[in-house]
Chain A
Amino acid sequence: QQQVKQSPQSLIVQKGGISIINCAYENTAFDYFPWYQQFPGKGPALLIAIRPDVSEKKEGRFTISFNKSAKQFSLHIMDSQPGDSATYFCAASMGLIGATNKLIFGTGTLLAVQP
């Protein structure tokens, strides 16, 4: 119940295309869903995050879509660029309920944007 399932494991997208990464969870106590981007040799960096009372959140080229009933959320990267090539992790937390910063991470998606 503590798992967050992420797919696909890897993704190749052409420059200018849309990259879509999906995550699913079981624990309905999760109340905070961030996405992280990690480049080789670096720590993960927060991209965008959403709470379950919102169905969509957009920040620049990055959009999170959230489906509470299906317990799924996804990251859309519009106009994908070679500089977006990185590993992306979804995560979930019982932040508000559990008063914790503990994150449960998905398994990661290696994105390659071809020029």
Chain B
Amino acid sequence: KAGVTQTPRYLIKTRGQQVTLSCSPISGHRSVSWYQQTPGQGLQFLFEYFSETQRNKGNFPGRFSGRQFSNSRSEMNVSTLELGDSALYLCASSLTASGGNEQFFGPGTRLTVL
């Protein structure tokens, strides 16, 4: 079974631009969560989707948004990029949203904002 796929793996943008990151969950998994990982703040929850509905949102500004498609693939978008948005963005997929399920993480997208 293929694992979680994230594209692109690396991205360089400049301040003020916007970016879209993509995540394809493991086949059959319907829940996708996004996390931001930085050396200073660690791993922080961004949002969680299940069956195209956002179920939970972390404490991030409105510039961070996401969505999930009918095939469970998910995208997250960051608009008006700031230097502090430089991070590893991780996607995790899980079979259901009932909680306590194993979450499988992708390799992440490394975003650098110049």
Contacts and interface: CB of A to CB of B under 8 A. Distances in A.
A80 interface: no
Interface in A84-115: 89, 93-108
B70 interface: no
Given A100-B48, A101-B31, A104-B45, A43 B107 contact: yes
A101 B99 contact: yes
B90 A99 contact: no
Contacts of B101: 95, 101
B13 to A, nearest CB: 20
Given A41-B107, A43-B108, A105-B43, A100 B97 contact: yes
10 contacts: A32-B100, A44-B90, A44-B105, A46-B102, A46-B103, A101-B33, A101-B48, A102-B45, A105-B35, A108-B43
A56 interface: no
B66 interface: no
Decide if the interface of chain B is mainly helix, strand, loop or mixed.
strand
Interface of A: 31-32, 34, 36, 41-46, 49, 51, 89, 93-108
Interface centre among A32, A95, A100, A101 (most CB of B within 10 A): A101
Contacts of B98: 95-96, 99
Interface of B: 4, 31, 33, 35, 42-45, 48, 55-56, 58, 90, 92, 94, 97-108
A49 B103 CA distance: 11
Across chains A and B, which 8 residue pairs bring their CB atoms closest together, nearest first?
A95-B99, A43-B105, A95-B100, A105-B43, A32-B100, A44-B105, A102-B56, A107-B42
A37 B55 CA distance: 26
B102 A42 contact: no
Interface centre among A43, A46, A98, A107 (most CB of B within 10 A): A43
A89 B33 CA distance: 17
